[in-house]
């Protein structure tokens, strides 16, 4: 599973990635398992972020149209 992030230095991505790495170390997960789980979680997080962002844009545009 390959995750593509347009900005791998985005704050949300860096924060989540760092927190996840700490969690995997604390749980003593083998590196290959931790990498697979991390990719899975970050993919879901990215997809949800993008879905929410699109919904937010749609909502903002509808508010602008209602105001005019």
Q: pLDDT tens digits for 16-60?
A: 889 989 999 999 999 999 999 988 988 887 788 777 776 766 777
pTM: 0.56
Say what angle helices 11-27 and 31-67 make with each other, to 10 degrees: 150
> 32 — phi, psi (to 5°)?
-65, -40
């Amino acid at each position: 599973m390959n995750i593509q992030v347009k900005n791998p230095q985005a704050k949300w991505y860096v924060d989540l990635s760092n927190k996840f790495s700490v969690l995997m170390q604390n749980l003593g997960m083998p590196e290959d398992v931790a990498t697979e789980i991390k990719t899975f979680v970050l993919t879901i997080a990215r997809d949800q972020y993008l879905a929410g962002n699109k919904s937010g844009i749609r909502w903002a545009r509808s508010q602008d149209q209602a105001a005019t």
